[in-house]
Structure 1
């Protein structure tokens, strides 16, 4: 399938940061159209209108590209949630709603691409470790956000992992159309609220 992206333009020298952004955008489009199976460095170079050495210089390997895609997704998710948390009211329900809506909406924005990238990440020990690292950062972020509303011992780590599992499952179900977006947000909100209440 031909990708109608900005990458199909005559080759030009871009600053490294801009070239990385272009390559990531084309890679997301490739994954969205054909899944992670079609994502190779050679295919990315072809679709982006650059030589293979350019792509290899930016990502090194296919695993490096997958890691960059996950980092790109995580950076957007973090920025959205951080901004919304800063703007929200200082109540448990408002903070929990921001976490729930932010998580679901970020996955929906990336559409069917991010589940495929996450599945590919699980196929490599190195990438699985990267995914776990980002998951732990998210869990600690949630712990800090919700700490003022928790009991004296704080929220159990097991509870936070359970919340993250629910967030992933609900977001994936919403992307697949198995449940509505609002249903996913509302259920995750209730899961977070219940988790905090159990900590008291």
Structure 2
């Protein structure tokens, strides 16, 4: 005898909340960039890979630029969270705080793999995306300045020094993500660069 369960209709799939749907779409987008590169990332391709209709994807991101910006914001949020937790547990010394900055930056890029360099490269493709990248870079540099300021000389941490630090961080993290160097080598070199940058401000102010 057939049971009622055999003839009952399947349960409808639970609709994701807007936040959960966006999280799903971002995860699929990161996978696409990792497997096929940032050039392959389009809203239509994302809809196909995520198993949703195009209007859903367009509702969340509007344009490809909006999607790329959302990916960068997602990366930045995770990097900030990682850094905040590590700072809370660190000692109030230059070596310890500089190690947190170096480790947090390298670890986040390394964990993201080769996707983030592709997204960052795509962000420089238009003035709008470049502005977004610069905005988030500014927030990161301001945080680093606040963390390191108490260890600097009278003139404080310079913008030029922070930009040099960021350039080193990007180059070293990309090299680690590509396998050219190890993550530990990247962290050690960036740590040394940060400490040297801060110590230069002390030497200058005392001369």
Q: Shorter-chain TM-score: which interval?
A: over 0.9
Moved beyond 3 Å, runs of 4+: none
- d(CA) in 2 for partners of 1:13, 1:44: 18
Match in the other structure for 1:195: 197
Per the TM alignment, residue 180 of structure 1 is displaced from its structure 2 partner at its CA by 1.5
**TM-score normalised per structure 2:** 0.90
- d(CA) in 1 for partners of 2:176, 2:58: 35
SS of 1:152's equivalent in the other structure is coil
User: Unaligned stretches of 5+ in structure 2?
Assistant: 1-11, 203-207
8 A contact 1:11–1:50 mirrored in 2: no
**1:32 alignment partner, one of 21, 31, 34:** 34
**1:95 alignment partner, one of 94, 97, 100:** 97
Number of residues of Structure 1 aligned to a counterpart in Structure 2: 191
Match in the other structure for 1:63: 65
- d(CA) in 1 for partners of 2:33, 2:47: 14
The answer on 1:43 being equivalent to 2:55 is no
Give me the CA root mean square deviation: 1.0
Any idea what the Cα deviations from partners look like across 1:86-129, whole Å, max 9, x if unmatched?
A: 11011110000000011000000100000000000000110000
SS of 1:199's equivalent in the other structure is helix
- d(CA) in 1 for partners of 2:179, 2:92: 33
The aligned runs of 1:107-118 (5 Å cut-off) are: 107-118=109-120
**TM-score normalised per structure 1:** 0.94
SS of 2:56's equivalent in the other structure is helix
SS of 1:103's equivalent in the other structure is helix
